[in-house]
Amino acid sequence: MWKLFAIIQKNLTVSIPLAMVAGLAGGSLINPEPFKNLIIPLTFLMVYPMMVNLELKKVFSNGDLKLQGAAQVINFGIIPFIAFGAGKIFFPDNPMAAFGLLLASLLPTSGMTISWTGFARGNINAAVKMTVIGLIAGSLLTPLYGKWLMGAVIEIPLAQVFRQILLIVFLPMALGFLTKQILLKYYGADYYNSNIKQKFPSLSTLGVLGIVFVAMALKAESILANPLQLMHILIPVVLLYMVNFLISTVVGKLFFERGDAIALVYGTVMRNLSIALAIAMITFGKEGADIALVISAAYIIQVQVAGWYVKHTDRFFGFPLCSTCNIPENVCVCATAEAQV
């Protein structure tokens, strides 16, 4: 069973679209209203597992203030305003879809921030710290940004959004921390890291697929009546990610060494779409289906562009240095010899 979950997690580019198609089919064949009762349990299944492995102590470590500061300036001083502008341009008559684009930009970092940074051989410790800071800061700032930028066209229930964030972010965070401490005490760190830790993200993926299914089922009637709606949504999402990657890459290349630059890119481009999806569905109910549709599209694009970027990381930032002779691996005799062996 766990192997199946892991396969699903590693193939989000396939599993997310399949969940969307299944939601459309389900919503067109039967009354989707009862699916709304699944939103809260699916949200907990989605958020709680990712909190178990969260390294809260990383927030208080020192040594990379410039890097962390640059990441948060991009995350909260630049990208949300680009998303807001794109929403005004592409969704002038659909404020919920515009808010979906804004919401997708306001919750930076996820577990995939750390994973993709590792795949690209970047600074994983910096990525872990960005993940925790981005999650906490984004959770606190999202209602305020939403009210500030979109409050004139959407009734943003500020108090309700804060309550939902407490329910779907900080409560699971506390429970996740307690769960990890109990597991470490009972099984020990070695067994936990080698046999338990990797199972939690798979559970989280099931929650994501469930929420995507429900969101699409609730929106099935209008989507099937206008199939081009999906394409119209994908265009601004793709543009947002392209601009985000461009800004983060330029800042990383100009001001930071390779490992830190890679962490900066994935700490500012990867979004916690799971929590954004949860906020949309719990706070706005059926009306949040338009928001959820934009976020579901972001899931598809985010995984694709992150994988593409890993393949081209060395072209952007150069090859990593050999640990033995401290010169780039592509010209290093040590690395060449090891590769031949």
pLDDT in tens, 228-274: 777 888 899 999 999 999 999 999 999 999 999 999 999 999 888 87
Instruction: Count how many Cα atoms sit within 13 Å of the Cα of residue 262 in the half-sphere of its side chain.
Output: 27
- Other CB atoms within 10 Å distance of the CB of residue 41: 11
Q: What is the pTM of this model?
A: 0.75
Banded model confidence at residue 337, pLDDT cuts 50, 70, 90? very low
> DSSP labels for 225-281?
H-THHHHHHHHHHHHHHHHHHHHHHHHHHHHS-HHHHHHHHHHHH-B-HHHHHHHHH
Cα dihedral 40, 45, 46, 48 sign:
positive
pLDDT at 161 over 70: yes
Banded model confidence at residue 149, pLDDT cuts 50, 70, 90? confident
Distance separating alpha carbons of residues 215 and 313, to the nearest angstrom: 34
What pLDDT, on the 0 to 100 scale, is given for residue 83? 95
Banded model confidence at residue 156, pLDDT cuts 50, 70, 90? low
Distance separating alpha carbons of residues 138 and 141, to the nearest angstrom: 5
Cα dihedral 184, 128, 244, 140 sign:
positive
How high does pLDDT run on average in the chain?
81
Distance separating alpha carbons of residues 277 and 274, to the nearest angstrom: 5
As given in the structure block, the two tokens for residue 44 are: 């907990």
Distance separating alpha carbons of residues 332 and 325, to the nearest angstrom: 8
Percentage of the residues of the chain whose pLDDT score is greater than 70: 87
Q: What is the mean pLDDT of residues 19-28?
A: 87
As given in the structure block, the two tokens for residue 252 are: 């990383």
- For the segment(s) 2-340, the CATH number from 3.50.50.60, 1.10.10.60, 3.40.109.10, 1.20.1530.20 is 1.20.1530.20
Instruction: Count how many Cα atoms sit within 13 Å of the Cα of residue 65 in the half-sphere of its side chain.
Output: 1
How many angstroms separate the Cα of 41 from the Cα of each of 36, 241, 291, 324? 10, 30, 19, 50
Banded model confidence at residue 324, pLDDT cuts 50, 70, 90? low
**111-119 and 124-150 helices, crossing angle to 10°:** 140
Distance separating alpha carbons of residues 316 and 143, to the nearest angstrom: 35
